[in-house]
Structure 1
């Protein structure tokens, strides 16, 4: 009985190599996922005003086997993000087979933040000489830092701070310029006239806040905006 010839061993080896190569090309390289996630995180950080950011992306699960995407990957931040800090990036294939994965990413950046140059008491209004700068990693601070002097100057401290302590938005408040019961100078404004009158504050307030004031001449109570120490502007 005639038996068909067996393929030579070299044909088996070539076929195996071809199949192996085809399979390897059909799987998305994990490094491309990492690169796409890192790129999206860095773009988002720069758009948020972060200078010189770096990003560390978690290594994808080695068991992950995604079909090779025929088009460039898309990547975007997922959920509410505060950068620098931790976030999640969604990396997706915009064409068939249309998969997507989520990769954790950590965005880091160093900056010179404002700290107190000396001990400062509660209620103190911050001046330029009270500030100095300290270089820190921002990622773990969750946005609780100040970079610009203007954000602190003239603001009042909610509590006392130690020398070298980092200043934060939560530590500062607009200083009280008018206190309840104090006499105030009222400026009554309209498109055609400005009248000044003596008044009495019915509430305390800082710059830009609206409070009730009593006109001592007419005994009328009106709403006005605090515009300075002991000054309230009432628009008609």
Structure 2
């Protein structure tokens, strides 16, 4: 093999190498240029997440709520192609008014090629709230052992919730509850301090003088309510104010 043949083969091999490399380099350059021409879904997700973090923390601070939060941005169509924005993206909370539960972030470009896209997300707020420790019956008056605190996502609790067990103790249930079920304001009512037929102590006051006598409640009554009481000594019916369990007071 002479020197000319060797040189020819070397040039042909180099040509084949360049023929394979050049299209790949061109394709890489085209892909980079193409990516730079669009706002990618990942950018929209990042902008929405950052906006929601700021919005949720501001909401918690203004509302003086101690809560842990989680933010999840729903997946976007990877085929989404929006023009690259030559200005800062703007974000607003489209719905609802408060950043809790299912929310929608409006992301807009106000540059030379304006566009708007709506990004769905979910914000979960977790707070310790009052729940039942065991199955409870309707009309049951709650005691400390009947309730406890448990961290729950408050977003779905449209009927409300309690953040202090003291708000429930001594109240009566309007319906039965299961273990770990959330107590709401609508499941509680003030328990009667006195029930119809109860034997009570009537205290009659006049200035610094007070007289006590036995009586019988003619109706149910809660603390502070005026109810009819039969004086068992005179058999007269009087109006008296409930001041405690089994205790009523009349003004003379």
- TM-score, normalization by structure 2: 0.55
What pairs up with 1:188-227 in 2 under 5 angstroms? none
- Change over 3 Å in CA distance of 1:119–1:59 after alignment to 2: closer
Considering fraction of residues, name the structure with more helix.
2
The correspondence for 2:54, drawn from 33, 40, 43, is 43
Which digits, 9 at most, give the CA deviation of each residue in 1:199-223, with x for residues without a partner? xxxxx99889xx9x9xxxxxxxxxx
- TM-score, normalization by structure 1: 0.58
- Change over 3 Å in CA distance of 1:121–1:228 after alignment to 2: farther
- Change over 3 Å in CA distance of 1:80–1:137 after alignment to 2: closer
Higher RCO, 1 or 2 (CA under 8 Å, sep at least 6)?
A: 1
Please, which runs of 5 or more residues in structure 1 have no aligned partner? 1-8, 180-203, 214-225, 232-236
Say whether 1:58 aligns with 2:69: no
Question: In the TM superposition, what is the alpha-carbon distance from 1:144 to its structure 2 partner?
Answer: 4.6
Please say if residues 207 and 227 of structure 1, whose CA atoms lie closer than 8 Å, have aligned partners that are also in contact. Answer: yes
Say whether 1:24 aligns with 2:38: no
Please say if residues 37 and 76 of structure 1, whose CA atoms lie closer than 8 Å, have aligned partners that are also in contact. Answer: no
Q: Which has the larger radius of gyration?
A: 2
What pairs up with 1:1-236 in 2 under 5 angstroms? 20-46=31-57, 47-48=59-60, 49=65, 51-80=67-96, 84-142=100-158, 144-174=160-190
The separation in 2 between residues aligned to 1:227 and 1:18, in whole angstroms, is 86
- Change over 3 Å in CA distance of 1:117–1:24 after alignment to 2: closer
Question: In the TM superposition, what is the alpha-carbon distance from 1:62 to its structure 2 partner?
Answer: 2.1
Please say if residues 118 and 130 of structure 1, whose CA atoms lie closer than 8 Å, have aligned partners that are also in contact. Answer: yes
The separation in 1 between residues aligned to 2:222 and 2:111, in whole angstroms, is 56
